Structure 1
Amino acid sequence: MLNEIKQDAQARMAKSIDALRHNLVKVRTGRASTGLVDTIKVSAYGSDVPLSQVAAVSVSDARSLVITPWDKGMVGAVEKAILASDLGLTPNTAGTTIRLNLPALTEERRRELTKVVHGEGEDAKVAIRNIRRDANQHVKDLLKEKKVTEDEVRRAEEEIQKITDKAIKDVDEVVKGKEQELMAV
């Protein structure tokens, strides 16, 4: 019973760290990444669909992305979606190919993005602490139902704390890695 609670907490904390990594992919570092356009929705065939479902996205060099819609009639819709997104990039169209050039980041913009990264890291830490609280509450509920002893509860809480400490350390490492990536010129 206690092992299930600990394993569930560990799995949920790992998912929080994965979500943090996924969110940090969207933070632009000055190096082109197909993850930058993952969240863009294109109005196609009467509904909003992810860009990846209407076009091929590839990295041509360190500072540019190439987007090639599968349907030639979708070029305008893809351009419009990119302009409407919060990327702040202007698409360059040549026939059926759309090129996104990523300008170099200024020092000030790098510092702003670092703050965003730290905010995402803090959100992940809060999520992990909430998972710890839930796990500890489940353990205490088992004590109230007299399914475990107080010694087992204390040991389980210590193990849950160790799992939490490791998860928070992992979050710090992810944030530090992204920060170094941002500050690299």
Structure 2
Amino acid sequence: MNEEIEFIIDSTKESMEQAIQHLRKQLASIRAGKANPSMLSSVMVQYYGAKTPISQVSNINTPDARTLTIQPFEKSIIKDIEKGIMNANLGFNPMNNGESVIINVPPLTEERRLQLSKKAKAEAEEAKIGVRNDRRNAMNEIKKADLPEDVQKDTEDDIQKLTDSFIEEIDKIYASKEKEIMTV
């Protein structure tokens, strides 16, 4: 019976950690004014007839805080990389120097900062919803398990404490990202 409780708590914790990892990944793709290779994570390039992530056909570097350089593995796909960046609708204007693609990341306007902050908040809310769904699933499993009432109550309290700690962590991650976005 004790193993069953441990399994429920461990699997719930694992699911909640996945929600946090997903949030971090989503927030990394929201640009905060500084150039970051993860900004191009959604860019797909036409490569030998197949849509391929840009990171699989090139090296992406940040020589300074406002510039991204994309060095393709094959020079013949430079035009395809430019097209992929334009099609991703990220608001970047790629420049081609014959060897690589250079993107100057424009500084964010106040309006754009507010939009990005809202987007980050929405991602944080999605993560909280995921954590709460994991809590609900755990509570249902506890009810299904044939446990004494006091053990069931204690386990539910443990799950709630776990949920509260993950929600708090999500709030901290969001606050950090919001500060990063709003800093000029």
For residue 74 of structure 2, the aligned residue among 66, 71, 74 is 71
Give aligned-pair identity as a percent.
36
1:152 is aligned to 151
Equivalent residues in 2 for 1:164-183, closer than 5 Å: 164-183=163-182
Instruction: Give distance in 2, aligned partners of 1:107 and 1:88.
Output: 16
How many matched pairs?
181
Instruction: Give distance in 2, aligned partners of 1:92 and 1:37.
Output: 15
Instruction: Give distance in 1, aligned partners of 2:108 and 2:124.
Output: 21
Instruction: Give distance in 2, aligned partners of 1:138 and 1:45.
Output: 49
For residue 122 of structure 1, the aligned residue among 118, 122, 125 is 125
Instruction: Give distance in 2, aligned partners of 1:52 and 1:123.
Output: 27
2:144 is aligned to 141
Instruction: Tell me by how many angstroms 1:95 deviates.
Output: 1.0
Instruction: Give distance in 2, aligned partners of 1:59 and 1:174.
Output: 24
TM-score for both structures, normalised by structure 1: 0.96
Instruction: Give distance in 1, aligned partners of 2:178 and 2:70.
Output: 28
Gaps of 5+ in 1: none
Q: Secondary structure in 1 aligned to 2:107?
A: coil
2:33 is aligned to 30
Matched, 1:21 2:24: yes
**Deviation above 3 Å: which 4+ runs of structure 1?**
none
Q: Secondary structure in 1 aligned to 2:45?
A: strand
Gaps of 5+ in 2: none
Alpha-carbon deviations, 1:158-177, whole Å to 9, x = none? 00000000000000000000
Instruction: Give distance in 2, aligned partners of 1:49 and 1:158.
Output: 46
Alpha-carbon deviations, 1:70-109, whole Å to 9, x = none? 1011101000000001211010110121001110001111
Instruction: Give distance in 2, aligned partners of 1:178 and 1:57.
Output: 23
Instruction: Give distance in 1, aligned partners of 2:61 and 2:29.
Output: 15
Instruction: Give distance in 2, aligned partners of 1:53 and 1:122.
Output: 31
2:183 is aligned to 184
TM-score for both structures, normalised by structure 2: 0.97
1:101 is aligned to 104
